[in-house]
Structure 1
């Protein structure tokens, strides 16, 4: 079903956020009311946790009116914290335009964490120049050992559970805000946040080590479809159906 008017963002009235000052000039940079700022942070938080979302989904999730959510989305898009794209349709496409969904930009993610990106990039560049690429590859693999440890603990606690869900939970504990969703011929593992996205732009070995670990833990070849480091809204990895079939078989035997 089309998300009606998702591509139309209502502008606030000029008197609400750009009232004229004593000289009669509109204050384009007027301070945003604290309740509006809080609501917009909630919008950003919801998109970070749930992934790209339509205006209607956000309005329902945050208990806001469609008009209110579109006003906040308009400000966040204008401020460079969100970007709107047509939602990708899997399978048969219905009539009408696809719904527009909103996802975080790099500027939007910066409000959630403060990372020493410049220092990390400089340190890794120095490491590579002295020790070579092998040293960086080893560091990348060592960095995600905590994810592997948490995954194995979760699988030990619930051996008949969905292994992809366990991997998403392990990643979330490490700050990646991960979730899963069904896809054609399998499932998608979605990481809605990346604490090291700026560093990974310069050193793709960090993403490659993650993908390699996913394959090792799940016992199948997985395919990385998108990464935040490359400018996508979500790090998305396709998990083939064979993992899910194997998990279902274990549950039936239990």
Structure 2
């Protein structure tokens, strides 16, 4: 960036462990729209999921972000650690500067139901999806420098319930925290919204599930990570600043 160029705002996007997911698409899109971008990933989570670890994903995303003239910072972070959010915001502040837009796209998601959910799985879902989100919002708000009205929090949520109990319950709690942030952080110049992206296949759907969801959607297709990234980029823009305190469904009409 030229010394005489205006500073780019900084976005922090969590959960960018794979180049094909919503967080990675969001990081690339925000970089193209003028943000410097920090992102998190956690390879141990991907390693225990069906899709596995994508080798070189962080390097590839870093290169994609910088290709738009943006600065990039990838940080591996286990957000189940209650000290991780403060360390993360401190690292981003030191390397890129204060964060203007906080996009919470990380998650713990392991299917189980009311009768078979293990206690440690329940606790980890809430630690990652709920507690970490609250701590990230708190640390972000305490560090937010302004200008007033430019701050953005976007949290990715879900309406899953049956047979996905700890994930759905922890995302429901995240919704309430996000609505509280919209009300409590307005005086700091920060808006907050939760976004439900609907059926987006980033590698977790079986062929049968993908077919059934396509058939249940009026547009006859699944969502893409880019669909979600475009809406997040709008919410992060000056034009999206009046949208606040909303639970937004962007799901192709599935609901």
Do both proteins adopt the same fold according to a TM-score greater than 0.5, normalized to the shorter chain?
no
- Give TM-score, length-normalised by structure 1: 0.24
- Give TM-score, length-normalised by structure 2: 0.24
Greater fraction of residues in helix: 1
User: Which of the pair has the greater relative contact order for Cα pairs under 8 Å at 6+ separation?
Assistant: 2
